[in-house]
Every structure is written in C-alpha cells, then in structure tokens.
Amino acid sequence: MRRLAVAWLAFAWLAAGVAGCAHGPQRIGERPSWRRGARAGAVSAPVTFAPASEPAARYNESPPPVPHTALHDAVIAAVRDTAARVGIAAPLADARLFRACAELAEVVPEEGVIAYTLVEFALQHNGIIEPSPHLLVVWGDISSPELIVQELQPRLAELLGDGATARLGVGVARRKPDGTGAVVFALQGSGVTTLPIPRAIAAGGNVAIDAVVDPRYHDPEMFVTYAGGDTQRLELRPGRPGGFIAQLLCGGHRGRQQIEITASDAAGSTVLANFPVWCAAQPPVSVTVDPSRDDEPAATTEQIERHLLASVNRDRAAAGLPALAWDDGLAAVARAHSDEMRRTHVVAHISPTTGSAADRVRAAGIRTGVVLENVARAYGVHEAHDGLMNSPGHRANLMSPVATQIGIGVVFGDEVSGRREMFITQVFTRVPPRIDRKQAIAVVRQKFKAARPRLVDSATLDGLAQQLADGLAAGNAPDVAYRAISKQVTGLGMIYQRVGSVITAVADLDAVDGAGLLGGARPDEIGVGIAQGPHPQIGDNAIWIVALLADRRAL
C-alpha cells in the first residue's frame, strides 16, 4: 500500500480599508497558503476545470443531505469527535462543500499548488459565497477511509481552533490505475448568512440581497464591481435582526457583476463574501487557468514591488486614471507592516502594536488627508494583483481617483511547493495637486449656493476671504491670519449686520460639503478665497478654503 502524502491548503486574508504553525484565528476572505507535505514542482500546462455536477441556480440554497459513504461517515465522525474534545460546536456537513471537494479532487495536482481560481470556481459553482476554506489534500491509496482519517486527524483540532467551524466537506477522486488518488478535505468559517441569491438575473432585472452578519462583526458594507470595471458601494437598509438588505440593479449592465460583503472586527475590515452575479447572461460552466502565467519567482522583494506597481498603473491607465507616484516613505511603512504579518501570520489592518494604517503613516511623519490600505498573502505576482482586482473593496482602493501616492511592501515568508509565500501591504495616500484657483473658487461657491440658492456674490468679501486664505496657506494660525483683515471687516458694519467666517482645509474639493459648512446659517452674501499650502494633518498642498458669509442690514 502506498504511503499517504498530506498537503495543507489554508487561506491567507485579503483585506481592504481606509486602513498551522502560528496561524492565529482564521480570517474570512482568504487566499491559498500551502503547508507541509506538498512537494516541489509546478504545473505548467493550462488546466480546464469543468465540473460535471449541475451548477447551483442560487447561492445559499438549503443544502441536501450528505450522501452516506464509508469515507464521508468516517470523516464526519472524526470532526465531531475532535470538536467535542476541544469544546466547540461541530461544523455542519454541507453537501455543497462535499461536491466542491470531489470536483477539486479531480484536478488537484500531485505536485505544486492548485490555483485559487479553481477553488473559488468550485465554491461558487456549488452556491457558496464565502471565499475562505481550509483545505487538506491527501494523496495515495484511497481505498481505506481509516487511513485517510488517520492522516487528517492531527490537523483537525488546529483548523477548528482557527475558526473554521461553519461547515465541512470531503471529496475523493481516483487518479491512477493503481488505485492512487486524491482526497480533498475542507473546513470553512463563515461570518454572514443570506437568503438564497440567484446567480443569474434577467436583463434589466434586480435582486434583493438579504443578509445577516455574525455578531462578531460590525459596520457591514457591500460593494459591486460592474462588468465595465466601475466599483460602487451599495446602499444598505435595515433588514432582519442583525442584518441588512441591499438591491443589486442590473439596469444596462450585462455579464459578470462582482459582489463583496465586508465588515469589521478588532483586526479591521475583512471580506465575508465575494461572489459574482450574472446580468443578462448565464454563469460559465468551466474555467481555464494557466499556471505558467504567474511568472518565475522574482529574485528580490523589490522586483515584486515594482512589478505590482506596474500592474496597478497599467490598470489605472486603462481606466483613464493617472498613475500613482511611488513614495519611499510609504514603502517603508508598508514593508514594516508586511514583516509584522509574516512574523504573526495574521493578515490584518489593525495591529496590536502599531494600530491602524493611518496610525502607521502618522508615526512615520507623513502628513496626508487620505490613507487607504490593502493587505494580502499570495504566492505569485499575478495571483496577488488579480486577486486584489477581483475584490471590489480592494479594487476601489487600487482605482481610487483621490489617491496620488503609493508605497508597496513585500516580505517573503515560507517556501511552499517551490514557491515563496509573499506578505503584501499597499498603502495609498494623497498629495493634493496644484489647482486652478479661479476654477476652484467657482466650484466651492456653487456648493454653497446649492444649499442656499439666494446667496449673492460680493467682490469685497471675495477680496478679504482671499487675503485670509493666503495667510493660512502661508502657515499663520487662524487668529493671526484673521487679525490682518479684522479692521476691514469691522469697517463693513454700515453695510452688514453680521459677517461670519467658515474656514476649512481639504485634500480634494469633492470633500467640500456646502450645506454642512453653512449649518443653520442663512446669509445674504458670500465671498470665497482659496489658497494652497501646508496643513498639519493633510500635508503639503492642502486646499485652504475661506468663506465670508454676511447678513445685509435692512434698508
């Protein structure tokens, strides 16, 4: 009898924010992380994955009973015994995950790492929206369930302890005439439940996504990346207790629309679900991956960082967005965070030692009004970039029209199946570009008038507001800058009953809220001044905005 060989395929988190061994608790929304037993080597030929099972018509349908086989029953019993021993509820034996494991067993390579694209396709083909199973792959003689369980047993307590406690599955495929085959075993966590969601919607149709988030998480959000590449945050309205409802509208969209549900816990934002819905089209029944596309392992982390930068700016150019400028200071921040993730094997935004991305940027002495962050673990440059672009939340950061600077930090982890594990952090900030003052004043003035249409422009107030804005941009404190115009303002007492001022600084004019700045005031006249200069939080080129608002005296 051939000896069984075990490979552990866990998943490393992809996280987006405006911000085994030593794994730590499992995070939702992760990518492959092979451990122990996988032999060196790589599959170079393209692989077409076409599951024979009928594809699910809807995500999260109630699964049918799991078929009884000697292997199924033995694995389920082993998981239940282990869960009872460690004092946690046993995962549900989910027929959908059993089918996905059986289909993956048909294509999992004996050497090298199975493409995550295939894992993701198998889950979605069977109606599963969570992207985060832990997989154990056993190769060898598959005729003895007892031997297979014996190989799986040492890992079960660890995986259950990592939080993979929602559902389990196992599948087997004979791959060679001598009886050798593959067994794929999966344990999966979950942080969200939904009512059934159709995988395909008719042209112009819509679907309500009715979800409930696990109490461990808070502040849920939902994003969609449309087939054209634009990403949008969907409005959430109250739903069932602890849940929400969002409407996905196909409208004129056709093809694949990628949906993502995120929420936060103590470690920051995490992806709870990431799945496609197809408008005016049917989901594909097969997928082809080319392992050779993920280029040869780079010699240095610096090469990987530059490759990722090129990929980001290539996709931004295709979307009509300006390139991001490399920032060495941000790269140093990103590398330090990636190194912490390597040491702790926890891929997260919030660190118990360094805080949030904004905290890390601030500690480095970098002043900016915008901080965005992506973190990930991957095994190839293309896998990393494609995975981030396939996640609406991460894609929104990569394609942000507000970001102008980027720093990328890559740190190597373990060598697995001949490939180096990579911990990746991308930090995005904004240095406001030089603006056309006249155009900017017109934009700001219009924002105020949108909230108070009867506002009248005053050339006198414009001049004073500009003088005050220039003083602020020169680095003067507000009270010092105001003293320079105070006598002139007092001299307007014959015309105005009251003159008030609104002072703010922004990194982008889109952040200006005219109604919010007016509050309850109902002035008659307005003067606007704008200048650019340093700001203690926003940094260089901050846009200083001054609005003088006046009430005319009654005639």
Is the pLDDT at 421 greater than 90? The verdict is no
What's the pLDDT at 41? Answer: 43
pLDDT of residue 113: 66
* pLDDT-based confidence at residue 381 (cuts at 50, 70, 90): confident
pLDDT band at 35 (very low <50, low <70, confident <90, very high): very low
What is the pLDDT at residue 420? 81
| Residue 466 φ then ψ, to 5° | -65, -40
pLDDT tens for 271-312 read 999 999 999 999 999 999 876 555 455 579 999 999 999 999
| DSSP characters over 75-121 | HHHHHHHHHHHHTSPPPEE-HHHHHHHHHHHTT--SSS---HHHHHH
> Is a pLDDT exceeding 80 seen at residue 514?
yes
Interval 238-275: pLDDT, tens: 999 999 999 999 999 999 999 999 999 988 888 999 99
282-296, 404-418, 491-505, 511-525, range with the lowest pLDDT = 282-296
**pLDDT per residue as tens digits for the range 202-239:** 999 999 999 999 999 999 999 999 998 999 999 999 99
DSSP state of 53: S
| 47-190 shares its CATH topology with 437-552 | yes
Phi, psi angle pair for 221, to nearest 5°: -140, 155
Whether the predicted pLDDT of 26 surpasses 60: no
Question: In this predicted model, which residue has the larger pLDDT, 294 or 463?
Answer: 463
Residue 294 is predicted with a pLDDT of: 52
Phi, psi for 450 (deg, rounded to 5): -65, -30
> How would CATH label the architecture of 47-190?
3-Layer(aba) Sandwich (3.40)
Radius of gyration of the chain from Cα atoms?
Answer: 28
Class of domain 437-552: alpha beta
pLDDT at 4: 46
Given a cut of 90, whether residue 99 has pLDDT beyond it is yes
The answer on pLDDT for 164 being more than 80 is no
CATH number of 193-279: 2.60.40.10
Q: What is the pLDDT of residues 326-373, one digit of tens each?
A: 999 999 999 999 999 999 888 889 999 999 999 999 999 999 989 999
The answer to whether 213 and 238 are in contact (CB under 8 A) is no
Say what the pLDDT of residue 298 is: 59
Neighbour-count burial of 282, counting CB atoms closer than 10 A to its CB (0-12 exposed, 13-18 middle, 19+ buried): exposed
Given this model, what pLDDT does residue 417 score?
57
Q: Which pLDDT belongs to residue 12?
A: 37
Which residue is listed with tokens 């494609």?
386
Spans of all domains in the chain = 47-190, 193-279, 296-429, 437-552
CATH fold of the domain at 296-429: Pathogenesis-related Protein p14a (3.40.33)
